[in-house]
C-alpha cells in the first residue's frame, strides 16, 4: 500500500489537524508472529535507521511516497546529491587499487558526466585531489588480505540473529564512505561491531573503524556485547508493535550533549529540539513523513524519548573513540 505525502498533508488539513493532533498509532498492535524473532542483520540495521518507517512498512504495509524533485536542465558539471556521490565513489574505488586516474579522465569525458574542455578538466581534477586525500587515509586500514566473510547465526535469549559480515582486515572491521557520516552510519557499524564481539572462538578482530569525509569513529572491544545487542533487539521487538520513540539524529543530538558534552538535561533537550524542529535554513527531523504520520503534530520528545536515547547511545559512547 502506497500513500502520497501530499495526500496525507491534505487529509490532516481537511480534518483540522492541530499542533495537538493525536498520533496515528496510540495503543499499538498485537505482537507479531514468532517468525519475526528470526532477525536478519540487515533488518535490524534498517529498523534503527528509522523505526517508524520500518513499523509502517513491516506491520501495516504502508509505504509513504516522498516527492522526488524534478531535475532542471543544467550543465553536467553541476553534480549534486546521488550523482556526485556515485561519481566520487567510483573515483575512490579506483584510487584505492592505485588505478591511473589520469587515463580515467578520457572515459569520464566520453560518458558526458562532465563538460568538455577546461571546465570539465578542472572539475575532475578538483574531485580527484579530494578523493585521493581520503583514499590516503583509508589505505593503511585495508592493507593485507581481508578475512573471509563470516556468516553467523546468533542465539540471543528468545531471538535468532543471522547474516554475513565482510570487510574485516587485520585492524578490524573497516567501513568507509566518502561523504559526511550520518547517525545511521554510526548505528550500522555499531551493530556490526556488537555482532563481531558476540561471536565466540573466532579469529576475527574485535575492533571496528568507520571512516567518513568529516570524521573517524573507532569502536573498541566490548565486554558485554551480548547484553547490549539483546537490548537493541528488545527495542526492535517493541518497535514492531508500536513506533519506537527513537529518531536517530535527534536522539543522538540529545545523548551526545548529555553524555559526551556533560550538558545539563535541559540544555541537551534544547539541542535535541533544535534538531527535531529545524529552522528557516534547516529541515528538522520532524519533517520526515513517517515520523509525521506516526506521531502526529504533537511533541514526542518526552521522558521515554530521553530514556531510549540514553540506552541506545551510552554503550556506543563508552566504547568508542572519535
What pTM does this model have?
0.88
Does the pLDDT value for residue 262 go beyond 80?
yes
Does the pLDDT value for residue 162 go beyond 50?
yes
The pLDDT of residue 288: 96
**What is the distance between the alpha carbons of residues 42 and 60, in angstroms, rounded to a whole number?**
20
Higher pLDDT, 233 or 73: 233
Question: In residues, how long is the chain?
Answer: 322
Task: Find the radius of gyration of the CA atoms of the chain.
Answer: 22
Listed range (5-14, 37-46, 237-246) with the worst mean pLDDT: 5-14
What rounded mean pLDDT belongs to the chain? 89
Give 292-304 pLDDT, tens digit per residue: 999 987 899 999 9
CB 269 within 8 A of CB 307: no
Give 129-138 pLDDT, tens digit per residue: 999 999 999 9
Give 209-231 pLDDT, tens digit per residue: 999 999 999 999 999 999 999 99
**What is the distance between the alpha carbons of residues 17 and 8, in angstroms, rounded to a whole number?**
11
> Hey, which bits of the chain come out as E strands?
2-4, 38-40, 63-65, 150-156, 159-165, 168-169, 172-177, 208-212, 216-219, 320-321
The pLDDT of residue 12: 44
Strand partners, 283: 278
Specify which of 48-52, 124-128, 147-151 reaches the highest per-range mean pLDDT. 48-52
Residue with cell 573513540: 321
Going 97 to 98 to 103 to 105, the CA torsion angle's sign is positive
In the structure, what pLDDT confidence band is assigned to residue 200 with cuts at 50, 70 and 90?
confident
DSSP annotation string for 194-217? HHHHH--S--S-S-EEEEESS-EE
The pLDDT of residue 119: 87
Domain ranges of the chain: 1-21+30-74+139-322, 81-138
In the chain, the percentage of residues whose pLDDT exceeds 70 is 87
Assign domain 81-138 to a CATH class: mainly alpha
What's the rounded mean pLDDT across residues 156-185?
A: 96
The pLDDT of residue 116: 81
The pLDDT of residue 175: 98
Amino acid at each position: 500500500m502506497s500513500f502520497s505525502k501530499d495526500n496525507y498533508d491534505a487529509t490532516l488539513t481537511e480534518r483540522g489537524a492541530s499542533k495537538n493532533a493525536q498520533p496515528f498509532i496510540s495503543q499499538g498492535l498485537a505482537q507479531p508472529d514468532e517468525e519475526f524473532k528470526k532477525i536478519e542483520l540487515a533488518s535490524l540495521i534498517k529498523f534503527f535507521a528509522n523505526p517508524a518507517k520500518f513499523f509502517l512498512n513491516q506491520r501495516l504495509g504502508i509505504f509513504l511516497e516522498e516527492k522526488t524533485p524534478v531535475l532542471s536542465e543544467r550543465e553536467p558539471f553541476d553534480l549534486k546529491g546521488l550523482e556526485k556521490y556515485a561519481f566520487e565513489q567510483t573515483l575512490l574505488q579506483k584510487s584505492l587499487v592505485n588505478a591511473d586516474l589520469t587515463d580515467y579522465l578520457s572515459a569520464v569525458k566520453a560518458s558526458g558526466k562532465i563538460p568538455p574542455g577546461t571546465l570539465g578538466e578542472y572539475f575532475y581534477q578538483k574531485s580527484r585531489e579530494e578523493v585521493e586525500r581520503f583514499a590516503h587515509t583509508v589505505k593503511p586500514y585495508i592493507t593485507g588480505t581481508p578475512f573471509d566473510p563470516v556468516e553467523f547465526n546468533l542465539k540471543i535469549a528468545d531471538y535468532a540473529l543471522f547474516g554475513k559480515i565482510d570487510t574485516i582486515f587485520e585492524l578490524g572491521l573497516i567501513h568507509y564512505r566518502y561523504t559526511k557520516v550520518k547517525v545511521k552510519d554510526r548505528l550500522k557499524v555499531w551493530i556490526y561491531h556488537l555482532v563481531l564481539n558476540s561471536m565466540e572462538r573466532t579469529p576475527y578482530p574485535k575492533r571496528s573503524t568507520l571512516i567518513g569525509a568529516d570524521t573517524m569513529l573507532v569502536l573498541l572491544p566490548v565486554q558485554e556485547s551480548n547484553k547490549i545487542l539483546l537490548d537493541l533487539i528488545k527495542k526492535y521487538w517493541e518497535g514492531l508493535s508500536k513506533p519506537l520513540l527513537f529518531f536517530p539524529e535527534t536522539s543522538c543530538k540529545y545523548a551526545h550533549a548529555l553524555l559526551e558534552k556533560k550538558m545539563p538535561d535541559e540544555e541537551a533537550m534544547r539541542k535535541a529540539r533544535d534538531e527535531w524542529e529545524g529552522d528557516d535554513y534547516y529541515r528538522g527531523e520532524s519533517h520526515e513523513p513517517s515520523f509525521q504520520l506516526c506521531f502526529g503534530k504533537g511533541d514526542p520528545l518526552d521522558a521515554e524519548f530521553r530514556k531510549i536515547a540514553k540506552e541506545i547511545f551510552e554503550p556506543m559512547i563508552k566504547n568508542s573513540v572519535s
